[in-house]
Every structure is written in structure tokens, then in C-alpha cells.
Amino acid sequence: MQGVSKLNKRENFWGYLFISPQIIGLLAFVLFPVAMSFYLMFTEWDFTNSPKWIGMDNFNVIFHEENFYYALRNTLYFVLGIVPVTTAISLGMALLTNRAIKGLSIYKAAFFLPMVTSSVAIVLVWYWVFAPDIGLLNNFLDAIGITGPNWLTEAFWARIAIIIMSTWQGMGYYYLIFLAGLKGIPEDYYEAAEIDGAGKMRQFFNITLPLLSPTTFFIIVTMLIGVFNLFQESFILTAGGPAFSTYTLVMYIYDLAFRYFRMGEAAVVSVVLFVIVLIVTFIQFKLSKRWVNYID
């Protein structure tokens, strides 16, 4: 008995020692800041004087500010634009290429390239692609007889421009995940269906889609979280304009905190964003029980 408890002690010692750097990081740089955000929401603080408790006043201010609603509306607009389009394209490509194809690894490398270089520099390249008159895109449209819009200076098209760029950046990554998911579906399911005389369409709806659903679910949840946090695309490409049409919630947080030093109000918006993401993810988990199937 004594030997066992000594062994347990030793296991505990090494266990806690090995996780200690990450646990300290978790406490200091995640959990403590989250708790502090919840406190800051109820204070007035400009960063120079000490924080003053003001109750719900920050909420009042934020919920009466037009910029908050612009930011919320645009963020939702981007979510509804980017998530379905990117999912559809990457799923479609994965379905078409889930077979032996010569040189597929070269194609994969090309598709993933935008994701790796998803830096400010690539946004700058798109800024040039979307440029009016001499930009690549409008020249291309001109060549096929379409007069391109002023991409970055018309509200509607500025949003479309950001959706195009974001889809372009993300589709290769999600394509690879979908493809990995498709490869995980056991061959014998299709063989059995073949024997039972099920056609390609039936196989797709009765085998592929249901068995791919955990992957689809994972992709939609991660992409949603990513798009809710959209920042640098708008910040660099359009600076939130024209007339706040591409202004996002994270840009709003950035402006409140680091341009106007309204820390309490910035904390309110960051927590609102967090709660929205939580609710959306929670709803997805609930809905997922109806359409996501796990193989045991």
C-alpha cells in the first residue's frame, strides 16, 4: 500500500510540474483577464485616472451608439456571406477530388498558399487587385465586357470585396479538412450500398453527408468564430468604410479602447461579442444533435 501511495505522489508531482507553465499562463493571460473584463464593464476608465464603478451606464451608452449597430450589422453580414460561400466551395472541391488524382498534392499546396500568407501583405495585394480603373479585377471584367464597380468605395461592393478576399483565403484550409473527413469514411459503407443497389445520389445523401457531418460541424463552428473576429481585412482594405459599411465589432472595440481610451465601454463590446459567439455556438451544438452523426 505504501508503495502505491508513494508512486501516486510521484505521478502527481511530475504531472503538476509538467503542466505548471501552461497552467500559470492560463490563469495569468486568459482566466484573470476574462474576469477583469467582466469587472471593467461596470467602470468608467480613461486609463489615466483610476477606474470608477458606474453600474450599467456603459451598456446604456453602447446600446445607444449608432456605431455599435453598424458594427453588429456588418459583422453579421460578413458571417452570413463568408461562412456559407466558403463551406460550399470547399465542400464541393473536396467531393470532386476525393479519388485518385494525379498531382493532387501540388494542387493542395496551391490551394493552401493564401492561408499561410494570410498577413497584412496579402490584404495589400487585394487592395491593388480591387483598385478602380487600373486594378486587376476591373480590367479582367472589362475584358469580358462588364464594367466593374468601384469596389472599395461603394458600400455594397466593399462588403462583397471583403467576402471575396476572405473566401479566397480560407477555402484551401477548409477544403483540406473536408478532404480529410471524406477519407475517414470507411470504404465498406459504399460497397455495401453498391450491393444493395443504391445509386450515386442515394450514396451521397445517405452515406457521405451524414458521415461527413462531424467535419462539417467542426468547420462551421470554427469559421463562425473566425469571422465574428474579422478585423485586419476591414482595417487594411477599407478602414471600415465607406460610411462604416465594413466596420466590424472588433474594429469598434479597437477604436473605443485604443483611440478614445473608453476602456469600460470597450470591455462591454468585447463581452457582448463573446456572448454572441457563445450563444451561436451553443445553438449550433443543440441543432447538431439533429444532423450530426458520429461513427463509434
Partner 1 sequence: MTRTKRGNFFIHLLLIAVALTTIFPFYWMITTSIKPSDAIFQVPPQLVPKSFTLEYFPKVFELMPMARAYLNSTKIAVLVTVGTLLTSSIAAYAFAKIKFKGSGALFAVFLATLMIPGQVTLIPLYILFSKFNWIDTHLPLIVPAIMINAYGVFMIKQFMGGIPNAYLESAKIDGASHPRIYWQIVMPLCKPAVITLGLFTFIGNWNNFFGPLIFLNSENKFTVPLIISSFKGVYTVDWGLLMAASTVAIVPIIILYLLTQKYYVQGIAMSGIKG
Residues 253-272 that bind partner 1 (CB under 8 A): 253-254, 257-258, 263, 266-267, 270-271
- Name the minimum Å distance from CB 32 to partner 1: 7
- Name the minimum Å distance from CB 276 to partner 1: 10
Residue 63 sits in the site that holds partner 1 (CB under 8 A):
no
Residue 283 sits in the site that holds partner 1 (CB under 8 A):
no
Residue 86 sits in the site that holds partner 1 (CB under 8 A):
no
Residues 165 and 87: beta-carbon distance below 8 Å: no
Q: Using the minimum distance from each CB to partner 1, give the nearer residue, 2 or 50.
A: 50
Residue 110 sits in the site that holds partner 1 (CB under 8 A):
yes
How much is the CA Rg of the chain, to the nearest whole Å?
24
Our CA angle for 48, 52, 58, nearest 5°, is: 100
Q: Which residues, 186 to 245, sit near partner 1 by CB under 8 A?
A: 214-215, 217-218, 225, 228-229, 231-232, 236
The one among 59, 77, 107, 190 contacting partner 1 by CB under 8 A? 107
Query: DSSP labels for the chain?
Result: -HHHHHHHHHHHHHHHHHHHHHHHHHIIIIIHHHHHHHHHTTEE--SSSPPEE-TTHHHHHHHT-HHHHHHHHHHHHHHHHHHHHHHHHHHHHHHHHSS--TTHHHHHHHHHHHHHT-SHHHHHHHHHHT-TTTSHHHHHHHHTT-----TTTSHHHHHHHHHHHHHHHHHHHHHHHHHHHHHTS-HHHHHHHHHTT--HHHHIIIIIHHHHHHHHHHHHHHHHHHHHT--HHHHHHTTT-STTTT--HHHHHHHHHHTS--HHHHHHHHHHHHHHHHHHHHHHHHHHHHH-----
Q: Which stretch binds partner 1 (CB under 8 A): 54-62, 74-82, 177-185, 199-207?
A: 177-185
Q: Which stretch binds partner 1 (CB under 8 A): 58-66, 75-83, 119-127, 186-194?
A: 119-127
Q: Using the minimum distance from each CB to partner 1, give the nearer residue, 193 or 277.
A: 277
Q: Which residues, 32 to 61, sit near partner 1 by CB under 8 A?
A: 32-34, 36-37, 40, 47
Q: Which residues, 130 to 159, sit near partner 1 by CB under 8 A?
A: 131, 133-134, 136, 139, 142-143
Q: How many residues bind partner 1 (CB under 8 A)?
A: 96
The one among 80, 88, 146, 180 contacting partner 1 by CB under 8 A? 180
Residue 12 sits in the site that holds partner 1 (CB under 8 A):
yes
Q: Which stretch binds partner 1 (CB under 8 A): 74-82, 149-157, 171-179, 190-198?
A: 171-179
